[in-house]
């Protein structure tokens, strides 16, 4: 009888230990899930500007292109770069430059459709604007509004009005083609080339290209 009691006590202790271990493992798994979710959120968002991060853009823009190609839908990409940003940094200090960056994203977002279009910071003072379901002409209108949202009203930095402008490059597709390899990369390069032309022809302007294999461009 005594041996059975000891055996039962040992079994109960083992069971309690197993339950306690399982509880701790479940708690650790819960903490890990929360931590991973927070890390994903942090890596998806640019710390300074609170728009999407370069990493998020690199992962999700190709997905947007693939989805549009699958269903034969339009899509456009706008790239923009703050003009004379180094000069702003030199004049206002890095804190002032950072404040311009903080205000830049929200100005862009005010023009865009909520939960459809999205903005990412992809370089020091360079941003991308992804416009799903947006053909060339509509994207051209949106890009003009984006340029106006930046340049028409001075930024308020430490209580003072600071004029800020940006240069824009657009690549628009009325229907995203299927079967083209590395299409997202090609769209980005076309928009980047358009941005380059804007910056080297006076800044504070928009250069737009319609993607059609061999595309013409227009300035606005």
Q: Where do the H-state alpha helices sit in the chain?
A: 2-44, 54-71, 85-111, 136-151, 183-199
CA distance 53 to 51: 6
Comparing C-alpha atoms, which of 143, 131, 142, 207 is closest to residue 176?
Answer: 131
Count how many Cα atoms sit within 13 Å of the Cα of residue 95 in the half-sphere of its side chain: 2
CA distance 146 to 129: 10
8 A C-beta contact, residue 95 and residue 48? no
Which active-site residues does the annotation give?
125
CA 10, 13, 19: angle at the middle one, nearest 5? 140
> What number of other Cβ atoms are within 10 A of residue 106's Cβ?
13
């Amino acid at each position: 009888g005594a041996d059975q009691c000891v055996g039962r006590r040992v079994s109960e202790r083992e069971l309690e230990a197993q339950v306690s271990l399982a509880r701790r493992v479940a708690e650790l798994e819960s903490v890990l899930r929360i931590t991973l979710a927070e890390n994903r959120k942090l890596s998806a968002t640019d710390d300074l500007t609170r728009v999407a991060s370069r990493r998020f853009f690199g992962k999700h823009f190709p997905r947007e292109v693939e989805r549009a190609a699958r269903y034969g839908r339009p899509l456009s990409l706008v790239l923009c770069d703050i003009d004379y940003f180094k000069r702003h940094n030199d004049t206002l200090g890095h804190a002032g430059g950072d404040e311009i960056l903080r205000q830049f994203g929200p100005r862009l977002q005010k023009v865009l459709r909520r939960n459809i279009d999205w903005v990412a910071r992809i370089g020091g003072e360079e941003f991308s604007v992804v416009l799903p379901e947006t053909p060339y002409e509509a994207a051209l209108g949106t890009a003009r509004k984006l340029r106006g949202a930046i340049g028409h009203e001075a930024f308020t930095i430490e209580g003072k009005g600071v004029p800020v402008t940006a240069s824009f490059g657009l690549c628009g597709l009325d229907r995203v083609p299927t079967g083209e390899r590395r299409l997202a990369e090609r769209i980005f390069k076309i928009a980047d080339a358009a941005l380059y032309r804007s910056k080297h022809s006076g800044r504070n302007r928009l250069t737009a290209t319609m993607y059609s294999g061999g595309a013409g461009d227009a300035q606005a």
